[in-house]
Every structure is written in structure tokens, then in C-alpha cells.
Amino acid sequence: MAKATIGQSQDFVLDQGLRHIVPMSLREVGINSLSPYWALVDAKGNLRVFAELTADSDRPDVRPRQAYHAMLSSMFPGWTVRVLQLFWPDPVPRQVFQCQVETCRVGAARKMNGENAGATMSEGRALLREGLLLFVQSAPLPFARRTILEFVLVDQNESLAWWEGVSGMLQEFGLCVRSLSAEEILPSRCCAELARWVFNPNLEG
């Protein structure tokens, strides 16, 4: 048995790009564009699909251990699945906060106790807004913890049908499954970015 190298992402990620995977049910009716599945083509030509797992906020009884057990028990011998716990850069909270700061009105001057104290208050708010914008624009992106499910498609029928059913299977245990889009799997079509954030978050570019 060949010795496996732990933590090496070179064998997984090369410049072979992505492929749009269309289930048989959609191919039969001719609506291929509705398929949400994108696969990364690895060094050996295998197709790797990805989905993000999140807890259903409306379910107080989320049971991830039972969900993983049910998922693994339903797999066929020889299939490969990985559950990745990642710290992923999340720009959305910062963008929302920056938009709120930019659209915040400083306020008009108003008189208090016979003096134009409102002008001083408006000037202070303007300085505060400029300082906040400068900090937001220069600060690094915050990181969010994400759970990514990776599955290697063995064929285009049986394993893909199983992948389609994972969402309903895990939903019974309070987990939501969302397939990753092409941009999320391979941001800007840059394999180095995928290698950095998916297969090895500590990889130096």
C-alpha cells in the first residue's frame, strides 16, 4: 500500500477547472440549466461536489451525530466523503456595516441653550463616520466557521442520485444542505484560492 501524505492538497487541486453536473431527471426534461451541482475535476479526473451544512434555526433538536451516522451508513463501499470544518473569510457582515455607515446622516445643526452646540455634534459624528469607514476599509475580513461536505462522484447515476438525496436525509436531523456554486468552489476560477481555503486553510500562497 502506497504511503499517503497527510495535509497535501497538490494531489487534489490542479488546473482542470469545473464541470456542471446535471442529474438524469433534469436531462430527461431538457432543463439542464436548473441543476445546482458543480464539480471540481481533480488530478485524476474525478468529480468532487461540495455542499455547505448548517443547522436549521427553526429546529431545537438538531442532531449532527445521528445525521452523520445515517449518511455514512447509506453509502456504498468504495465511495469517498469528507466533512471539512473551515474558517472561511466572510465579507458580508463588513459590507453591510460599511453600507450602513456610508448612508448614515450626520444630522443638521440645532441650537441648544442659546448656543450652536448642534454644529459641534455634527462635526463629531462626521469624524466618527470617517474613522469607522477608514477602519472598515483597512481591517482584514472576518472569518466564519463553515462545515463543508465533499463527495467524490463515482458515476453519473447512482452516486449522483445519492448526493441528491443527502439534503432530505439530513433534514430529518435538523441539518440544511446547500450545494456550493461554481464561484464558491473556485473563486475567480483560481485553483490556488481553492487550495488555500478548502483543502488546506494554512497553505501559504
Of 204, 184, 182, residue with least CA distance to 192: 204
* Domains identified in the chain, total number: 2
Q: Are residue 84 and residue 169 in the same domain, yes or no? A: yes
Average pLDDT of the chain is: 75
54-103, pLDDT tens digit by residue?
Answer: 999 888 889 999 999 999 999 999 899 988 887 767 777 788 888 888 88
On whether residue 126 sits in a domain, the answer given is yes
Q: Are residue 22 and residue 83 in the same domain, yes or no? A: yes
Tell me if the pTM is above 0.75: no
On whether residue 181 sits in a domain, the answer given is yes
pLDDT of amino acid 79: 92
Q: Are residue 82 and residue 158 in the same domain, yes or no? A: yes
Q: Are residue 109 and residue 183 in the same domain, yes or no? A: no
